[in-house]
Amino acid sequence: MRSWTVPALLATILLHGCGGGSSNSPAATPLNGSSSPATVAQAVNNVQPISVNAGPTGQIPNMVLTSVTICVPGTAACQTIPNVQVDTGSTGLRLLASAITIALPALNSTASGGAYSECAPFADGVVWGALVTADVQLAGEKASSMSIQVVQDNGVGPAIPSSCSAQGAPQDSLALLGANGIIGVGVFVQDCGPYCASNPAAMYFDCSRAGACSDVAMPLAAQVGNPAAFFAQDNNGVILQLPAVPANGAPSASGNMVFGIGTQANNVLSAGVIAVPDSGNAAGDFTATYNGVTLPYSFFDSGSTGLFFDDTAIAGCVAGGAGDGFYCPGTAVALSPVPISVAISGSNGASASIGVTVANAEFLFTQPGAASLNVFSDLAGPTGATLPNAFDFGVPFFFGRGVFTAFEHRSTPAGTGPYVAFQAYP
């Protein structure tokens, strides 16, 4: 029997309250400034291996992980950090301070004489920590001298401001975060964008040497950005490719994160695209319709352990039991899969129908051999008040599919981002 000791909803979608990103990203050049097809880049290694398992703590099902190499900018002083969660629902690289062994330069403030920190809000809490500058390497691609966040989990640095902790519980340890960090490769180029460039938003903070922190506006060039959008090429989107897994689960799964859309022979999109808005309350989201209910804040999210949606007709698992927080249709002594269908539509009027299944989580977690099973294609639970008016297509949706995320204002052969798409894989 496996005892999962973390919340069922590990939805690492960065809240879009600040608005979307920017069309004038200072350190990344779009492949084509118009909406015409992207120029095919010179072939480089654009395939980053990813894996799905229970994470470094062994306590979270369906963790999508990869290794990220960071370097002191412009030098060969580098470190590869394993077990970084891949998240299509957020933007930016965030690493636990305790996982970093090289000295990365701080992003200093001329106003206070101190340095900048960030409070990044997620659906299940906040991460707090300093901004530093690093070269970020994935596969054969490199994003040079970009801002990343160092999550303060080692007791070194200014105290978390009350305006940050008021937004949610700090996820400031390996046990709470479940990984050594998060690499957010969602549709936005920066994690807050033009709004934070002009307004203090309790997200970016100027912390004096005495440790006093005040929230400030942050220029786009200094905001934490999407590393894949800052590559020299293959910088218009990403594809997550994961194989199908058995209905009762698997120990692990291996796949790829492919950089670029329509830039090389291995990242061609043949499916239709679901466009999403780049600003407003529904920035980055599409509309899902489930059981006749319209859910305008829906999304594909590799940072969520399951499918999350509300359906009172599907029984929830017993509180305090093995499946607490998930759905448990049927009986705990059988798989009991329930098929459901969800319609989605984009801001471009395109639509698609998605079929998935929901199994009894208590059975998945207690079945014979469950101790070795970490990956489930039919794990689901309710969103409750955490994500209202949303259908969260978490990791189970990704199995057997290639899921495309096109970055805002970047040209692709299928149109200009932001958009999402999916097609069968392999």
Residue 75 lies in a domain: yes
Q: In this predicted model, what pLDDT tens digit does every residue of 268-303 receive, in sequence order?
A: 999 999 999 999 999 999 999 999 999 999 999 999
- Quick one: 104 and 242 in the same domain? no
- Quick one: 298 and 397 in the same domain? yes
Residue 58, pLDDT above cutoff 50: yes
Residue 17 lies in a domain: no
The reply to whether omega before 426 is within 30° of 0 (cis) is yes
- Quick one: 197 and 316 in the same domain? no
Residue where one domain finishes, among candidates 178, 208, 230: 230
- Quick one: 408 and 280 in the same domain? yes
φ/ψ bin of 101: left (φ > 0), alpha (ψ from -120 to 50), beta (otherwise):
alpha
Residue 4 lies in a domain: no
Residue where one domain finishes, among candidates 230, 258, 293: 230
Lowest mean pLDDT among 68-72, 189-193, 199-203, 384-388: 384-388
Burial 103-124 (b: 16+ CB within 10 A, else e): ebeebebeebebbbbbbbbbbb
- Quick one: 289 and 388 in the same domain? yes
- Quick one: 75 and 170 in the same domain? yes
Query: By residue range, what is the domain housing residue 393?
Result: 238-424
Averaged pLDDT, 133-154: 97
CB atoms closer than 10 angstroms to residue 195? 16
- Quick one: 246 and 387 in the same domain? yes
- Calculate the average pLDDT of the chain: 91
- Quick one: 261 and 143 in the same domain? no
Residue 320 lies in a domain: yes
CB atoms closer than 10 angstroms to residue 54? 21
Averaged pLDDT, 139-162: 96
* C-alpha span between 19 and 16 (Å, rounded): 5
- Is the pLDDT higher at 206 or at 28? 206
- Quick one: 128 and 271 in the same domain? no
Find out whether 126 and 171 touch, Cβ atoms under 8 Å.
yes
What is the percent of the chain with per-residue pLDDT over 90, rounded to a whole number? 86
Supply 124's token pair.
């299940």
Cβ neighbours of residue 425 closer than 8 Å, sequence gap 6 or more: 241, 242, 243, 255, 400, 401, 402
Number of domains in the chain: 2
Find out whether 215 and 161 touch, Cβ atoms under 8 Å.
yes
- 328 phi, psi to nearest 5 deg: -135, 70
CA angle 101, 190, 21 (to 5 degrees): 175
Supply 396's token pair.
């189970």
Find out whether 190 and 223 touch, Cβ atoms under 8 Å.
yes
**222: domain CATH number?**
2.40.70.10
- Quick one: 161 and 249 in the same domain? no
- pLDDT at site 39: 53
Residue 55 lies in a domain: yes
Find out whether 87 and 302 touch, Cβ atoms under 8 Å.
yes
Q: What is the DSSP string of 105-131?
A: PB-B-TTTSSEEEEEEEETTEEEEEEE
Residue 91 lies in a domain: yes
Residue where one domain finishes, among candidates 177, 196, 230: 230
- pLDDT at site 36: 37
CB atoms closer than 10 angstroms to residue 378? 27
Residue 182 lies in a domain: yes
Alpha carbons within 13 angstroms on the beta-carbon side of residue 298 total 26
pLDDT band (50, 70, 90) for residue 210: confident
Residue 415, pLDDT above cutoff 80: yes
- Quick one: 178 and 292 in the same domain? no
Residue 27 lies in a domain: no
Residue 7's SS3 state is coil
- Quick one: 300 and 222 in the same domain? no
